[in-house]
């Protein structure tokens, strides 16, 4: 049985732990590897290594850091197929979907390549008589990233590029369900010239995460995951005196107005709801059909579902792969099993899926479509994180906006319409952090930042882009005076600026 290693001080390190977890192949249901849950001693070793490396890396030149980022970007691009295969083998998403994830992750590395511009401070000459003031950005020191299973390359790259380019040492704790891609990233960073100890990969479970949250040697925690865990991590880590960015879950709505193009809306809904088997925090999980658009839209979506091919992610013919674990598959299935009892109409039932051959025991669940859904139903209220699309029918635009704004989540939302005025009004009034106009998954490009509102974000720190630079640096303001000795005197009053 293959055993995963940690990555410590620039090299793979076998674990001494007696606690191990399984890594499944979701397409077959078989255990393909084991992952170690780090011991307290291993955690201390990683933090010590990162602390030692952070000092010299943080004081290195910006040009040296930029050179590493450029080379890292090149290496990731060169080995993207290898990375995508690792994602497919452990997560289950299709190879093309995995390549798309890597491409979006690389945007953030490319943004970090411009670190010389991002770290510019400000300068004010003669702020007061004989006084100049300037500001600089300095790294936090040792930071930790805790990432989810659904994007084992993209989300680590959301954090890693900015964190390293800003001069920090980073400890990555990837999901214990699909960790191999993180180990490849570690190898590529070393090959790119990153000094040993600046980037570490430490594997583990909730117990290991708790140790990172409370370790005094770690100055910042970056997290993406579900809302309950994000809330807990934000509370625990801030109580330990750390800065924290904690992104939680979502219930993303797609509002379809009566004037929308039905075919465009249906294509977008299917792509956004069922891509990666719905295991995306920005997946569309609720269609809000306004007025008479519901029936033709529902028919168009159902027709498209009939044409989807469900199977192993490494099969080029596959449109949608399996879910990550058997337990998660069964939980997703329970929402469909109970939907009719709550008054909803199951139009397409994922239970009916049959996958043959070696994939017969894989963690598959078919795309599901549920109509006549209302708030208060479990299928609406909870984040399902699977291939389930609910349809809520409302009579007016005002009802649609109220439905979205009353939902406790506020990650992403989309509106489909030909009316520019309606789109602008919706974009300004909706209480979500990311809005798409005829764009079903409005994940911002890397020059902006990612983050929701309400129960989708804890604290106020968004991810990557300018917000990422702010998070991984501390601002220092330096006030300078070079006085003429002849004008110096004792003054016990409060310093004046006039």
How would you label 208-233 residue by residue, b for 16+ Cβ within 10 Å and e otherwise?
A: bbebbbebebbbbbbbbbbbebbebb
Phi, psi of 172 (to 5 degrees): -100, 125
Cα(387)–Cα(367) distance, integer angstroms: 5
Tokens 């139009």, residue?
347
Tokens 């960015």, residue?
245
Is 281 a known active-site residue? yes
Residue 192's closest CA among 361, 68, 34?
Answer: 68
User: Six-digit token pair at 220?
Assistant: 């910042």
DSSP of 211-238, one letter per residue? Answer: HHHH-TT--EEEEES-HHHHHHHHHHHH
Q: SS3 breakdown of the chain: % helix, strand, coil, rounded to 5?
A: 40, 25, 35
Residue 249's closest CA among 439, 410, 405?
Answer: 410
CA distances from 66 to 62, 73, 90, 117, 167 (A): 6, 11, 32, 11, 10
Q: Are 244 and 237 in contact (CB under 8 A)?
A: yes
User: Would you say how long the chain is, in residues?
Assistant: 498
Q: Are 460 and 104 in contact (CB under 8 A)?
A: no
The catalytic residue positions are: 281
């Amino acid at each position: 049985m293959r055993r995963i290693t940690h990555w410590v001080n620039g090299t793979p390190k076998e674990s001494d732990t007696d606690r191990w977890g399984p890594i499944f192949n979701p397409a077959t249901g078989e255990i393909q590897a084991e992952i170690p849950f780090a011991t307290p001693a291993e955690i201390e070793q990683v933090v010590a290594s990162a602390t030692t490396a952070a000092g010299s890396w943080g004081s290195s030149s910006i040009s040296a850091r930029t050179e590493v980022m450029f080379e890292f970007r090149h290496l990731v691009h060169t080995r993207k197929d290898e990375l995508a295969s690792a994602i497919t083998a452990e997560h289950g998403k299709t190879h093309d979907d995995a390549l798309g994830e890597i491409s979006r992750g690389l945007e953030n590395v490319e943004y970090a390549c411009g670190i010389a511009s991002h770290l510019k401070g400000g300068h004010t000459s003669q702020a007061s008589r004989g006084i100049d003031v300037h500001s600089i950005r300095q790294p936090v020191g040792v930071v930790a990233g805790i990432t989810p299973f659904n994007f084992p390359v993209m989300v680590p790259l959301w954090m890693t590029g900015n964190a390293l380019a800003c001069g920090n040492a980073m400890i990555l704790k990837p999901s214990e369900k699909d960790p191999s891609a993180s180990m490849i990233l570690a190898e590529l960073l070393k090959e790119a010239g990153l000094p040993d100890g600046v980037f570490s990969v430490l594997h583990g479970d909730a117990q290991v995460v708790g140790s990172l949250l409370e370790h005094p040697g770690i100055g910042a925690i970056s997290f993406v995951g579900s809302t309950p865990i994000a809330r807990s991590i934000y509370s625990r880590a801030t109580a330990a005196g750390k800065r924290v960015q904690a992104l939680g879950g979502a219930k993303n709505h797609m509002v379809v107005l009566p004037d929308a193009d039905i075919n465009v809306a249906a294509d977008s809904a299917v792509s956004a709801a069922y891509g990666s088997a719905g295991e995306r925090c920005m997946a569309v999980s609720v269609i809000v059909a306004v007025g008479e658009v519901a029936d033709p839209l529902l028919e168009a979506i159902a027709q498209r579902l009939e044409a989807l091919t469900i199977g192993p992610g490494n099969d080029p013919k596959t449109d949608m792969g399996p879910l990550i674990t058997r337990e998660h598959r069964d939980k997703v299935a329970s929402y469909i099993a109970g939907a009719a009892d709550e008054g909803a109409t199951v139009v397409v039932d994922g239970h009916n899926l049959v996958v043959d051959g070696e994939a017969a025991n894989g963690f598959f669940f078919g795309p599901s479509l549920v109509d006549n859904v209302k708030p208060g139903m479990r299928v609406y209220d909870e984040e399902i994180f699977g291939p389930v699309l609910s349809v809520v029918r409302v009579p007016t635009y005002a009802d649609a906006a109220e439905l979205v704004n009353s939902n406790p989540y506020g990650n992403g939302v989309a509106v489909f319409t030909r009316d520019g005025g309606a789109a602008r009004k919706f974009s300004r009034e909706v209480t979500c952090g990311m809005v798409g106009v005829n764009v079903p998954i409005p994940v911002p490009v890397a020059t902006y930042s990612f983050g929701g509102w309400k129960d989708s974000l804890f604290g106020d720190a968004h991810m990557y882009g300018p917000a990422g630079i702010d998070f991984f640096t501390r601002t220092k303001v330096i006030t300078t005076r070079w006085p003429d000795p002849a004008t110096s005197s004792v003054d016990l009053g409060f310093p004046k600026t006039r």
